[in-house]
Amino acid sequence: MKLQVLSDNRQLFQSLKKEHGLSIYLETEKHKCLLDTGASDYFIQNASEIEVYVEEIDYVFISHGHSDHIGGLIDFLNINKKAKVILSENALLQRFFSLRKGLREISANKELRQFKDRFVFVDSYTVFDDEIHVFPCNVCHFPTPKANKTLMKKVGDELTNDDFNHELVFSFGKDRQVVYTGCAHCGIMNILDSVVKTVKKPVAALIGGFHLLDGDDLYESEKEIDEIVEFLNAGFADTSFYTGHCTGVKAYSQMKQKLGSRLNLFYAGFTVNINI
């Protein structure tokens, strides 16, 4: 299985564009897939630079409805005429806001509704072509990221905390699986617990943001990050982890000390081949 990061907060070299967004190309023996579409058309420009052909993509998987993951979808749909888009209907029906650095809207583009015949809405465990598993994260035994408290959605005329009923988990593979977290708003531990209980196959690799932001005591403490590492070591000792986007530098560095070569930082232009 081949993965190439098309959009991220960092880039491999200057000719690639970077943004606060995430998009990853994933290729299996049967399918060419796009995991999220970043915040803009930068992922399309970067794909051209590293010879990924977006016109050939079969499926787009949208992890949740925030604009840094769905912002480039309309640009993609204007180029690619065949791919089906897998997402939660709640990602399009709701309006989302961030309180970080001032109140701002982070919803999907309303013009996406013109492409509704391209969408496949998922609200429960669904399998595509025997190797792609899609489901909401229904397990909440473990803490969710503290930075979630800065994310809101509109209910009527009021803003309320985002409950992430628009977030989906994606797993790829028949015998062993590669899991995509998006931003992991439900928490990496909850997502992995949900994967084990739903798909019931070993996790070869996990890729995506962990939503562990750097900052003051508003976010995870060193002790809380160590507890996440302990969970990963205890239940997923043979799993490789790849993260970037919404994983802070301090959180990554602390996890790297404990996970070693099993944890790697990705960026636009990053490529990895995973044997499953």
The predicted-structure confidence for 132-149, as pLDDT tens digits, reads as follows: 999 999 878 999 999 999
pLDDT at 269 over 80: yes
**Structure confidence at residue 214 (pLDDT):** 86
Cβ contacts of 252 within 8 Å, gap of 6 or more: 212, 243, 263, 265
Q: By C-alpha distance, which of 273, 264, 270 is closest to 5?
A: 270
Task: Give residue 167's pLDDT band: very low, low, confident or very high (50, 70, 90).
Answer: very high
**Structure confidence at residue 215 (pLDDT):** 74
CATH class held by domain 2-273? alpha beta
What are the residues facing 126 on neighbouring strands?
A: 134
Stated pTM of the model: 0.97
Q: What is the pLDDT of residues 87-121, one digit of tens each?
A: 999 999 999 999 988 999 999 999 998 999 999 99
How many whole angstroms separate alpha carbon 103 and alpha carbon 23?
25
Least confident residue range of 33-47, 69-83, 138-152, 165-179? 138-152
Each domain of the chain, given as residue ranges in start order, spans 2-273
* Backbone dihedral angles phi then psi of residue 192, each to the nearest 5 degrees: -65, -40
**Structure confidence at residue 121 (pLDDT):** 97
